[in-house]
Amino acid sequence: MQFTGYSENESYFQYKAALSTSNPDTTPALTDVTVTWDPMGIEDMFNTGLLPLSPNPASGTVQIRFNLGDAAPVEISIFDITGRRVNTVLMEAVPAGNHSTYLDMQTPGIYFCRMTSGDVIAT
């Protein structure tokens, strides 16, 4: 795949297809390609973890996205730059998979988001 005219405002991805066969008389053929994207760079989309917040920097309504490998309760806490907790969201029964919630940030600024689910703590 050839990319031309790339600039800082453009995005692209690269891929590699390795084809092999145990029969030297047969030519392997690529019949299907599936592309997935994970901003955390994790191979398994269902690992428990916190994804980047949007918009960043935080102002107005902020989307908080996270993944759960197994069904579990989730606590999401927002802290300001001084370490003061400014908001907490508790979700009791969250199934495995990709999820998001929205919070209104009263004051634009720098915030830290901490997700706790079982033994996993992600900030």
Alpha-carbon span 46 to 67, nearest angstrom: 6
Does any domain span residue 34? no
Residue 113: half-sphere exposure toward Cβ, Cα within 13 Å: 24
pLDDT (0 to 100) of residue 56: 66
Collapse the DSSP code of 60 into the 3-class scheme (helix H, G, I; strand E, B; otherwise coil) and give the result: strand
Q: Nearest CA to 51 among 106, 103, 101, 105?
A: 101
Residue 69: pLDDT band (50, 70, 90) is: confident
Q: Which pLDDT belongs to residue 33?
A: 73
What range defines the domain where residue 61 resides?
A: 49-122
Q: How many CB atoms lie within 10 A of CB 86?
A: 16
Given a cut of 80, whether residue 54 has pLDDT beyond it is: no
Residue 95 lies in a domain: yes
Instruction: Give pLDDT tens digits for 110-122.
Output: 788 899 998 888 8
Give a yes or no: residue 69 inside a domain: yes
**0.85 cut: is pTM over it?**
no
User: Which phi and psi angles does 94 have, rounded to 5°?
Assistant: -110, 125
Residue 10 has pLDDT above 60, yes or no: no
Q: Is residue 5 part of a domain?
A: no
Give the per-residue pLDDT at 3.
41
118 inside domain: yes
Lowest mean per-residue pLDDT among 7-11, 65-69, 111-115, 116-120: 7-11
Residue 109: which CATH number? 2.60.40.4070
Tell whether 88 is covered by a domain. Answer: yes
pLDDT band, very low/low/confident/very high, at 42 (cuts 50, 70, 90): very low
Find tokens 């004051």 and name the residue: 107
Look at residue 3 and tell me if it is in a domain: no
- Report the domain count for the chain: 1
In a domain, 109, yes or no: yes
